[in-house]
Structure 1
Amino acid sequence: MDISPLEQDWRDKMGADSAMEYLKKNNKLLVSPGTGYMASQENSEISAIRRQCRKVIQEYSWNMVFADDEQEFNRLYDQMYKEVMELGYETMLEVDLQNAKAKEAARWEAVERFEENNRE
């Protein structure tokens, strides 16, 4: 199979033939333990913000991909950013960050329990 110049450049810079090889060689691969953690059901306000932001981001992202120039791209990005912030993006982000932190804490707790149960 032919390797594109971009692929070859990546391989040369990363010192690996694939992303998995790079992660293994550089000790960047981590298995995340399973847990019973489930985020609580989000309220209707957050769900509405999420739907509205998703719609705005999808619409502007497509327009940004096909922007005629960098100036148009930046204008579209700025408008997208303004609209999602007005919709309450930061409120949604805070909920998502809290859920991510709780999930991470549950994973570390699972690791600690595993280690405690396997000490000899």
Structure 2
Amino acid sequence: MTNLLAKRAKALHLGPANYCWFLDPSKALCLKLAGGHARGATEPLIGMCDSARCPQATHHAGHRPVWAASAESKKVFIATIGRAQRTEKARLTTELARDERVLAEIDALSGTGA
């Protein structure tokens, strides 16, 4: 049991918005996004993390404030975008939907309706 926990502990990377369980580099979205620059990587590329899409990332109740703040910021920006900036509005709307999906998943897992 201790060996299993030690192996898992080495794979766990804590982030403000998710936990990265870097168990299989071939499944890490950050490495796929980096392409050839990430060959032989033994740790995730935190700066390229898209935890809402990575199969090795998990979100927990402690991460909710980060996602909620991100969603609120996007709502504010979307409300101030003019008609001429349709592309930016569409991009932010897509990102807001992702934030809201993660928030819903966190709420469902934690049993809250926050």
Q: If the length of structure 2 is used for normalisation, what is the TM-score?
A: 0.34
**RCO comparison, higher one (Cα < 8 Å, 6+):** 1
Highest Rg: 1 or 2? 1
Structure richer in helix, relative to its length: 1
TM-score, structure 1 as length reference: 0.33
